């Protein structure tokens, strides 16, 4: 298990863009079809923009039509944590980075096989590391 990343709000604000901070630290959401990775088709891995923790792989990314990058499974389940989210008048399952607690998005039970899950993730909570050939 990797060591948890703990920083003050001031440190996060200095390191992240305003949008990254709003989404990852304040549990915001980017507008659909505006994120840099929702149409990305390159091979590689998606890591946490806050701490570099490996979160998702291009191998599990799929086109959900929602306007956010969607994955049917995390790269390593131990690298994410989930919690009940009752904001906005509905119960959803929030997805967070286990290493730093960054809000990533939500997971829904309407994804493709083999898991039937759709991890709907904000692009601005991710960095992408292209696979080397």
pLDDT digits (tens, 9 = 90+) for 55-92: 999 999 999 999 999 999 999 999 999 999 888 788 89
| The overall pTM is greater than 0.85 | yes
Q: Return the domain boundaries, the chain.
A: 9-130
Query: Which residues are tagged catalytic?
Result: 120
The C-alpha atoms of residue 121 and residue 75 are separated, in whole angstroms, by: 13
**pLDDT < 70 regions, the chain:** 1-2, 133
Q: What is the DSSP string of 22-82?
A: HHHTT---PPTT-STTTT---SEEEEETTT--EEEEGGGEE--SSSS-EESS-S-GGGEEE
Q: Does domain 9-130 have CATH number 2.40.440.10?
A: no
Instruction: Provide the residue count of the chain.
Output: 133
């Amino acid at each position: 298990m990797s060591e948890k990343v703990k920083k003050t709000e001031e440190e996060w604000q200095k390191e992240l863009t305003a949008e990254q901070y709003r989404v990852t630290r304040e549990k915001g959401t980017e507008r659909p079809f505006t994120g840099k990775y929702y149409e990305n088709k390159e091979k590689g891995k998606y890591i946490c923009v806050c701490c570099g923790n490996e979160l998702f792989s291009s191998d599990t990314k799929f086109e959900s039509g929602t306007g956010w990058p969607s994955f049917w499974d995390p790269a390593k389940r131990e690298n994410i944590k989930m919690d009940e989210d009752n904001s906005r008048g509905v119960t959803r399952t929030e997805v967070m980075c286990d290493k730093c607690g960054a809000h990533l998005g939500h997971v829904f039970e309407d994804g493709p096989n083999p898991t039937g899950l759709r991890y709907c993730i904000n692009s601005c909570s991710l960095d992408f590391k292209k696979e080397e050939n």
